[in-house]
Amino acid sequence: MPKSSPTATDNPNDTGKEPSLGAACGFFFLTGCAVISVSIMAIAWWMGGSQHGRAASALRTQLIPWIEKSSLSDVDRKSIIEQLDDLVIDMETEHLTTRQLSRLNFRLSGAPIFQWGAIETIEQQALHCDGLSEAEKVAISTECDRLLRTVLNGRVAMEQLEFALQQVTDKEKLSGRLTAHEHISAGEFQEFLRRIGAVSDRVNTSKEPLEKSPSEVFRMMIDDALSDK
């Protein structure tokens, strides 16, 4: 999805300090939020044993199976799972530092990128909607691409994404997975456009085309989490 290769940035609420690594806070990895509600919540915590092992187990037993059943395209699904498999190996062999584990948790907890299949489905339906003008169809594609940049920059929470997609998706109670409605009206597409535009406007996301696939964005998020900066 390049005209430029943006650098992933931290959450706007980030003060520059890394999340606490104290035993009381524990190791809150993303998989609980992905499997249960894809929101900031945790199912595993540090109470002794291997922090690396707990993280690897969370990926292997929770997140990867969740993604296998997601609506991401086959190519993106396969690529993201391969990247997670590599992370599992690095965790099990303890090749990652505690700081890297913490940054992975921070960057991936409740990450909207795992729900991107629903957005792609909505975008494709919009392109075939007779009730939308060509300008509106172009605007929806543009804003979906821009929203992906906002996700890359870590500047949209899962709750915000769910609100933006509220009228055009259903949310599974147990998995938290978002599924696009089969029939979406022109008015609902227009509201979807307004809401996702507002999400990116709020954080002043660039309108320059991103031209990256979801799996490429996921790779950039991982690289950012594992970087030394």
Question: How much is the pLDDT for 11?
Answer: 46
At 3, is the pLDDT very low, low, confident or very high (cuts 50, 70, 90)? very low
Q: Torsions phi, psi of 60, nearest 5?
A: -70, -40
pTM: 0.79
Q: HSE on the CB side for 222, CA within 13 Å?
A: 19
Question: How much is the pLDDT for 105?
Answer: 85
Percent of the chain with pLDDT over 70: 78
* Model confidence at 16: pLDDT above 90: no
Q: Which residue has the higher pLDDT, 134 or 44?
A: 134
Task: Give the H/E segment covering residue 151.
Answer: helix 134-152
pLDDT in tens, 28-86: 444 444 444 333 333 343 333 478 888 898 899 999 999 999 999 999 999 999 999 99
Question: How much is the pLDDT for 54?
Answer: 86
Buried b (16+ CB within 10 A) or exposed e, 99-129: ebbbbbbbbbbbbbbbbbbbbbbbbebbeeb
- Other beta carbons within 10 angstroms of residue 32's beta carbon come to 22
